[in-house]
Amino acid sequence: MEFTAQQIAGFIQGEVEGDPLAKVSNFSKIEEGVSGTLSFLSNPKYNQYIYDSNASIILVNKDFVAEREVKATLIRVENAYQSLALLLSVVENAKPKKTGISSLSNISKTATIGENAYIAPFVNIADGVKIGNNAIIHTHCSIEENTEIGDNVLLFAGVSIYHDCKIGNNCTLHSGVVIGSDGFGFAPSVDGVYKKIPQMGNVVLEDNVEIGSNSIVDRATLGSTIIRKGVKIDNLVQVAHNCEIGENTVIASQTGISGSTKIGQNCILAGQVGIAGHLQIADGTIFGAQCGLANSIKEPNQMYMGSPAFNLRSYQRSSIAFKTLPDLQKMVFELQRKITEMERVLQNK
């Protein structure tokens, strides 16, 4: 399907600058733009590419100022990245959806499957499972006993959901995700042998949660590990037993959250953040990459860096000192040498 700049601008409430009849039928990156595609510019680091891009239409922020002529038709919007996301969502939702249940799937007679579901070959659905409407479950997924899955859920290949877990509406789990595996619970005995503590709880994912490939959410020892609505989790993340992740929190790759930690709403955890167990994290907290946290955060809307993590302003001041440590060390050694010489002179007198 082709769309004109005028049609696109009307949909995203933008202003056309150039040919309103310019047409596109696909998307491209601005540095690889070709005729007939739509691209976008939101990061000033990529400004240089807009002047030579062959994309027919480019979304830009309203405050973008061109330093020279741009060949493409521009559509000015409040936020180019958000407008692109909206357009991509529309295109994705317009694609035909698979439906039907494969005869090569293994579905218990006591399981309940909603309307318009797609169940691929080699999917296993155990006793007592309930799946809502419009579910899409790709090959080699495993859904164990008494798990409940809401409407419009998308499970990519190889997702495993253990028994008694609950998945809300509009959730997406990417390949290799494991929901409800045992928490890391072992008790040392007198002879030094660790004995397993049965993990009797479950995992609850609320609505609109998305979890990236090969991430794991462990089941609770007792009660529930809870991922609140709107949470987005990247690839290769572990959420341990009895944790609670607040609404609309975002967690980047290779982050690990230890057991029984409660993270507030609208927090951001960058890559490789490590959080100790039994902590409380206030709403709106931001952790930079590779933060290591051992204590609770009580003040909301603060940013932290470093390991151990501390307030961003303190970290920035300290980083100045970090850079000068080699010079400071040389100064200390030189002072020590001079003091030693002075002491020797005084002793000789």
Task: Give me the active site residues, please.
Answer: 241
Query: What are the φ/ψ torsions at residue 341 (nearest 5 degrees)?
Result: -65, -45
Number of C-beta neighbours around residue 263 at 10 A: 25
Pairing of strands 268-269, 286-287: parallel
Question: Would you give the end-to-end CA distance of the chain in angstroms?
Answer: 97
Longest dimension (CA), the chain: 102
**How much of the chain is helix, strand and coil, in % rounded to 5?**
20, 30, 50
d(CA 78, CA 62): 6
Q: Are 66 and 50 in contact (CB under 8 A)?
A: yes
Burial degree of 195 (CB within 10 A; 0-12, 13-18, 19+): exposed
Residue appearing with tokens 């997702």: 159
Type and span of the H or E element at 269: strand 268-269
| C-alpha gyration radius of the chain | 27
Partners of residue 167 on adjacent β-strands? 149, 205
If you count them, how many residues does the chain have?
349
3-state SS class at 84: helix
Task: Tell me the C-alpha distance between 307 and 5, whole Å.
Answer: 49
